[in-house]
Amino acid sequence: MPDTSTSASHVLDRVLVLEMVRVTEAAAIAASALIGRGDEKAADAAAVEAMRRAFDDLAIDGTVVIGEGERDEAPMLYIGEKVGGARGTGPKIDIALDPLEGTTITAKAGPNALAVLAAAEEGCLLNAPDVYMEKLAVGPGYPPGVIDLAKTPRENVEAVAKAKGVRPDQLIVCVLDRPRHAALIAELRAIGCGIQLIPDGDVAGVIATTDEATTIDLYMGSGGAPEGVLAAAALRCVGGQFNGRLLFRNEGEKARARQCGIEDLDRIYLLDDLAKGDCIFAATGVTDGSLLEGVKHRRKGCMTTESVVMRASSGTVRWVRGEHRTG
């Protein structure tokens, strides 16, 4: 069961929970026009522009803490940008976002592309640098500390299997399909557990551990640190455990982390270190996936969307199906 002991925020009004879905819907619909067109940049740009416009309809004083990059790298939704229709007067909210999580997926019409965002009170989301993060996640229902990034993959698989009451070879682990994961995959194969390799979209991969229908027990491997914060926000809402550790390829990336206020470069971050307090997570499917259906273009100028929105304080998960007229 999700942790519902988190007190409700007066800043995150109940109405705002569903309003966030409008933002992810707008990004997903815009990106859907580029599904299978082979142009990653165009799909991402369409999603970014649509999401940026949608924020202006919200009565918030929002600050992007995880976005499309630094201001000189991104014209919109850059880190530090103010968004919302009540800037300077509305409730102060930090926002982590990925208007199109799975640009390559969208360009190739693959599964699990999403438009996602997380929102929390000011200071409650980690301002993660745009570097890699080693990630380890498990769904709800396990004793605290069942996973530990300081331990080996085998030790973590065995711990979760013991807690679940099954053999290690009966677990399924989700891993991003990348050459850098060759050793991890070999170790998991040696244990005998199943591996679900995904081409992209590790936010969806982490969230899949919370849904028994996916049959995924664990998520392991490295991916973007900003996506780690988004995934942690979702787990914060519905339960589960998450460990993350920043990975640096050079001194420049370490300097970037220090600019974000991170001094302990070897720290293992737990769920509450990445997303704390009351928070909201919203996602809309762009392409069909294990979590959500993608945008469907129906006849006579009608489109349908499927979204999920979660809130930590209530442990509520709402599935939202939308019908949108374009003509």
pLDDT of 63-93, one tens digit each? 999 999 877 678 899 999 999 988 888 889 9
Instruction: Give the global pTM.
Output: 0.89
In order of 84, 101, 226, 263, the CA distances from 67 in angstroms are 15, 11, 8, 22
The answer on pLDDT for 14 being more than 80 is: no
Q: How confident is the model at residue 9 (pLDDT cuts 50, 70, 90)?
A: low
- pLDDT(327) > 80: no
Q: Where are the domains of the chain?
A: 14-124+279-325, 132-274
- Other CB atoms closer than 10 Å to residue 39's CB: what's the count? 14
Residue with tokens 């939202």: 320
Q: Has residue 29 got a pLDDT over 60?
A: yes
pLDDT at 2: 40
Q: Is residue 196 scored above 90 in pLDDT?
A: yes
- Greater confidence (24 vs 74) lies with 24
Query: 14-124+279-325 maps to which CATH number?
Result: 3.30.540.10
Same fold, 14-124+279-325 and 132-274: no
* pLDDT per residue as tens digits for the range 241-275: 999 999 999 999 999 899 888 999 999 999 999 99
**Are 147 and 138 a contacting pair, CB within 8 Å?**
yes
pLDDT at 72: 66
Return the closest-CA partner of residue 103 out of 211, 179, 27: 27
Q: If you average pLDDT over residues 27-37, what whole number do you get?
A: 97
CATH number of 132-274: 3.40.190.90
Cα–Cα distance between 128 and 226 in angstroms, integer? 6
Q: Give me the helix-helix angle, 14-32 and 40-55, nearest 10°.
A: 150
Residue 3 scores a pLDDT above 50: no
